[in-house]
Structure 1
Amino acid sequence: MCGRYYRRSDKQRIAEAFRLGKLPSDFQLPADYNIAPSTNQPVIRTDPETGERCLSLMRWGLVPAKLADPDAFKVYTTTNARAESILDKPIWRGPFQHTRCLVPVDGFYEWLQRLGLPQPPPVEPGEGALHQTSKNVR
């Protein structure tokens, strides 16, 4: 994954790109250029009641199911997993196999420790952004 990402697309563009149903009119989604772990961010997931795609706010980061208080787990880094070992680690295995969502992202970046040098530009997916890469999402 990455250290930070940004989203500049509005909720209507996200709804069109991911073929979402009607969005609540009171759902506010301002652009955010510095999205950090442990913040609440919009994701596209399957609504458990209707089975349709919906836009929901969820906390960025994995909190083990046994933990009652997500804030108590902030001392551990659970936002990034290595693809080559994701099925070997018990904390990631279950969620990876059973729980999925799409995260609307326009670009991402990683802070570098480079004294006196500028930060590199963020990585973007290309013109248009918000490309849907998974065809299997319900």
Structure 2
Amino acid sequence: MCGRYAMTWTVGDLVAELEAEADANLELRASYNVAPTTDVPIVLERLVDGEPHRQVHVAQWGLVPRWAKDASVGVRAFNARTETVLDKPTFRSAVKARRCAVPVEGYYEWKKLPDGKGKQPYFVHSQDGSLTTFAGLYEWWKDPAKADGAEDQWLLSCTILTMPAPPDGELATLHDRLPVPMDADTMDAWLDPAAGEAATLVALVLSRAYGVAEGWILDPVSAAVGNVRNDGPELIEPIEPIV
């Protein structure tokens, strides 16, 4: 699964790295401890005058489907399992037409200690510190309690897809789920609003995900990351693991 991650890049850096565009007034909050229900950057493509435009937006992490009566649904929908994403009512509409990428510097996962009484958090990231993009979905939800035309009437939200962890290797010892990473070519296909069948796209990202994750670094880090009030570069600093 993916329940916490780090993302401190600026709008300008994201736009340059992902060859995207962004509103001049877009603001991103840098955080070493991003948690569900907070605002996060996402990358999506929209057709403008028939041409695809790749854009950076800010969305609430926790997907709120269009049919939801209130936004609280998003609390339980910050991850979407690839095994059920095509059929589950919360996600099946978005996976067909509203796919996005969620950029991260790395994510946190907790590993059970041998004594079974505690957990050691790890920061999982690329070897060279490059950006990782996870396959995601987004939705626009209209708040029925807001007046038409209100600035906050529409909520943009997102979720991160997860898959079974690799059958072997270090990631297999960490958790039984893995957020689905994409390489550049996979992301191009995933974001394409004119792409083909959703099932084919899900199969594509799954087929390449383990290769993207191969070579990731797993650094043991402080348990301070477990408290959302803690947020600083010290959270990703490697420490000696608890044994």
Q: TM-score range by the shorter chain?
A: 0.7 to 0.9
Alignment deviations for residues 3-24 of structure 1 (CA, whole Å, 9 cap, x no partner): 1111122222211111123651
Alignment deviations for residues 105-128 of structure 1 (CA, whole Å, 9 cap, x no partner): 110113457687673321002314
CA distance 1:28–1:65, shift in 2 (3 Å): closer
- Matches of 1:64 and 1:118, distance apart in 2: 33
User: Which ranges of structure 2 fall in alignment gaps of 5 or more residues?
Assistant: 134-182, 193-243
- Matches of 1:118 and 1:83, distance apart in 2: 26
Look up the equivalent residue of 2:6 and give its one-letter code. Y
- Over the matched positions of the two proteins, sequence identity in percent amounts to 32
In structure 1, the residue matched to 2:220 is none
Q: Which moved more, 1:39-48 or 1:92-101?
A: 39-48
Choose between structure 1 and 2: higher strand proportion.
Answer: 2
Deviation at 1:30, TM superposition (A): 4.0
Contact 1:14 1:130 in 2 (8 A): no
Contact 1:3 1:111 in 2 (8 A): no
In structure 1, the residue matched to 2:85 is 86
- Matches of 2:63 and 2:103, distance apart in 1: 18
Deviation at 1:91, TM superposition (A): 1.8
CA distance 1:92–1:48, shift in 2 (3 Å): same
Look up the equivalent residue of 1:2 and give its one-letter code. C
**What is the SS of the residue equivalent to 2:79?**
coil
Look up the equivalent residue of 1:125 and give its one-letter code. S
Matches within 5 A, 1:25-40: 26-40=25-39
- May I ask how many residue pairs the two structures share in their alignment? 135
Contact 1:17 1:131 in 2 (8 A): no
Structure-1-length-normalised TM-score:
0.78
> How big is the alpha-carbon RMSD for the aligned residues of Structure 1 and Structure 2?
2.7
In structure 1, the residue matched to 2:195 is none
User: Which ranges of structure 1 fall in alignment gaps of 5 or more residues?
Assistant: none
Alignment deviations for residues 50-77 of structure 1 (CA, whole Å, 9 cap, x no partner): 641121111111112122431x435x51
Structure-2-length-normalised TM-score:
0.48
Q: Which moved more, 1:108-117 or 1:93-102?
A: 108-117
Alignment deviations for residues 79-121 of structure 1 (CA, whole Å, 9 cap, x no partner): 1122122223222211112111111111011345768767332
Q: Which protein has the larger Cα radius of gyration, Structure 1 or Structure 2? A: 2
In structure 2, the residue matched to 1:135 is 188
Which one has more relative contact order, counting CA pairs under 8 Å at least 6 apart? 1
Deviation at 1:49, TM superposition (A): 4.5
